[in-house]
Amino acid sequence: MDANTVGGMESELTPRQIRLIQSIADFQMALSAVDFMCELEEDQHLTRVERRRHRCFEDSAVIAYGRAFTAANGLPALSFKQLKLNPTDAELVLHGRLLERRHKVIAHSDADRQRLLFVTESFVAKHMTVMLPHVDFDDALAFFPDRLLLVEWLRRLIEAAGKILFDQVQSMPEIRFVRDHTLAAEAEARTP
């Protein structure tokens, strides 16, 4: 069974429509991750492990956000024009920072964005010098100061994408579209 065929009826969506639908899911995932970051208080003391936990949420938010605006195999990148959205200057700056962080820090480890410290320290023990390596790296929350702006921006994107999708389906017949890579694998496994 083709993953886009349901009950013998094939339902078609364009790659742009699929990107729009997937983007809503990505923005909601990003919003959930930022909501977890918002549980922190401005002056809350965190252990290194707790900070890394919240850094994982931040990285997840950045990755999910960036998926919508990055072309993928078979799907175009989402655009503000497609969303009929005119971001404010602050939102454009935030958008640029999010994509730069995704491309240079999270998805890749570009040298111009690394924050590493590597120090060796020598000790003498039993007439032998031993070098101990110490490694430290950046686990700071880059978007914590902007978390409320980010929440509002993500909500605005979800609302804009939802409105575009709502408007588009008003001129369409009823549709049931399923794309699930596991369905194709199951059907293939059952074929003799």
Task: For the chain, give every domain's residue range.
Answer: 13-110+147-190
Q: What residue ranges in the chain does DSSP mark as E strands? A: 5-6, 9-10, 116-125, 128-137
For residues 10 and 123, is the Cβ–Cβ distance under 8 A?
A: no
Angle (CA) 89 95 100, round 5°: 130
Q: What residue ranges in 24-149 does DSSP mark as E strands? A: 116-125, 128-137
User: Model confidence over 94-133: pLDDT tens digits?
Assistant: 999 999 999 988 887 767 777 777 888 998 988 899 988 8
User: Model confidence over 24-78: pLDDT tens digits?
Assistant: 999 999 999 999 989 988 888 888 888 889 989 999 999 999 999 999 988 999 9
Q: Positive or negative, the Cα torsion across 182, 187, 188, 189?
A: positive
- Can you tell me whether residue 157 is helix, strand or coil? helix
pTM for this entry = 0.81
In the predicted model, is pLDDT for residue 88 greater than 90?
Answer: yes
